[in-house]
Amino acid sequence: MTRLSRVAAMACALALAAVLTACSAGPADLELPAQADAALSDDTQAQLQAAVDQAVAASGATGAVVGVWIPWSGSWLAGVGTTTTTGPDVAATSTFKAGAVTRAMTCDALYAVADRGLVELTDPVGDYVAGIPGYEQLTLEELCDSTSGLQSYAPLLTARMIANPARPWAPRELLAYGMSRGLSGEPGATFSDADTGYVLLGQALEHATGASMAEVYDEYVFTPMGLTVTALPTTADVQLNGLWSPSAEDGSVMCAEPTDVTALSPSAGYSASGVATNLTDLGRYTQAVAVGARSFDTDTRYENPLPVAADGPSWFTADGGLYQAGTLLGQYGSMPGYLTAAFADRDTGMTVVVVLNNSRASSALVRSLAWQLAAIASKAPAAEGETAPEAGLPWTADDMSAQVVAAAVCPLQAEEPADG
């Protein structure tokens, strides 16, 4: 289909919008795995709680929200710790910033818009976004896959965002900083996660649809999936505070005196990390994506995965705006104030979502925590009348616990030796 014919198709779609509203207003009937209506065993809950407590301490967070859904065993949703050093207890129902999971949602929008016939994955981004000399031939698919070679704007702007979190940012401003760093490699050759690419993809989707990204998400992702809380907001109105621990003069991390950056404008992340959500919505979203519950979900989105790192394990790859770790599919990352990870098993639908409210540590910490929780969950006993699957993961809970400890930026209390 030529771009002209796609523009004509878009015009027809807009003309028929009023007629189609009644058909598209409600959520689709997603086919998700049946969930055992039970609490997890005391032992499983204790293991999950201990893992989260360790990661909270290691990251300097004061609190976390965590959700684990095990279709054959039960579920566990919890708020851990407090919202700030002196704040109230964290509630499991707290809203929070989805961070890097926004990247997957932006790719969802691309695939949904392509399914509607308004774009093609191989279209050059220059067909939709003007004024990006040297980058016009990057394709929409390369932006989604993080294979465009674009580099992140975050290293240039994070300190400014922490110092003045409420400052609004225009997408073009973010792009200018990211593009000023040039390309890290040949487009299409290697994976390199970059917020700049997702901001550019968001701009392309806005021009292709004639709608804002908030409207694009609502029409193509949130409403069809029945996500009632999730949105790309204009203000930082969330219930879980976001923190950042600065460095002392001696270089140590001031774990007990974090800076509150909850006011960070969603515009600082836009279509790379700007979405806000809650556990129930994000758990449903992550599971639906992993099991391919939507009409435009096809294996072609993930058929050409690339290694996340040249020296990384063979089972850790990325494609289509998502990471693949063994049988898990999901996203994770860092933004000022939060470390977020959300993964689900493609075979069973087992789902893990966790958010730590301090972003000083590497995002590897929250990734390792999510995989630790998944390893614990994969061994959960079956509820009455259910059968536990035999499939496993290519790591153990102890493996990932050690990685959390290795990524710690704050002191961890040593375990007391056993008596005797």
Position 133, amino acid: P
Q: Is the C-alpha dihedral spanning 334, 336, 339, 343 positive or negative?
A: negative
Q: What is the pLDDT of residue 28?
A: 59
Residue 321, phi-psi category: left (phi > 0), alpha (psi -120 to 50), beta (remainder): left
What pLDDT, on a 0 to 100 scale, did the predictor assign at position 1? 41
Q: Residue range 256-268: average pLDDT?
A: 97
> Would you state the structure tokens that stand for residue 194, as one six-digit string?
């970059």
Q: Is the pTM of this model over 0.85?
A: yes
- Kind and range of the H or E run holding 77: strand 74-81
pLDDT value at residue 415 = 55
Tell which wins on pLDDT, 199 or 295. Answer: 199
State the Cα–Cα distance between residues 191 and 179, nearest whole angstrom: 17
Q: Is residue 7 predicted with pLDDT exceeding 90? A: no
Q: What are the tens digits of pLDDT across the range 125-151? A: 999 999 999 999 999 999 999 999 999
| CA distance linking residue 48 with residue 53, whole number of Å | 9
Residue range 92-113: average pLDDT?
Answer: 98
The domains of the chain, with CATH numbers, are: 34-406 (3.40.710.10)
Mean pLDDT rounded to a whole number for the chain: 92
pLDDT over threshold 50, residue 23: no
Mean local confidence (pLDDT), 170-184: 97
Model confidence at 273, in pLDDT bands (50, 70, 90)? very high
Q: pLDDT band for position 413 (50/70/90)?
A: confident
Distance CA 345, CA 378 (A): 10
Q: Indicate if the pLDDT at residue 242 is higher than 60.
A: yes
Lowest mean pLDDT among 9-13, 31-35, 95-99: 9-13
pLDDT digits (tens, 9 = 90+) for 185-210: 999 999 999 999 999 999 999 999 99
Q: Is the pLDDT reported for residue 76 higher than 50? A: yes
Confidence category of residue 8, pLDDT binned at 50, 70, 90: very low
The whole-number pLDDT of residue 170 equals 98
Planar angle of CA 265, 254, 277, nearest 5 degrees: 30
Residue 176, CA distances (Å) to 171, 195, 265, 311, 379 in order: 9, 12, 18, 31, 47
pLDDT single digits (tens) 339-379: 999 999 999 999 999 999 999 999 999 999 999 999 999 99
Identify the pLDDT of residue 251: 92
Which pLDDT belongs to residue 391? 73
Predicted confidence at residue 414, as pLDDT, reads 65
Neighbours of 245 (CB within 10 A): 22
Tokens of 384: 């009455």
Is a pLDDT exceeding 60 seen at residue 418? no
Residue 144 CB-density burial (10 A; 0-12 exposed, 13-18 middle, 19+ buried): buried
**Per-residue pLDDT band at 26 (split at 50, 70, 90):** very low
Model confidence at 419, in pLDDT bands (50, 70, 90)? Answer: low
Answer positive or negative: Cα dihedral of 272, 278, 279, 284. negative
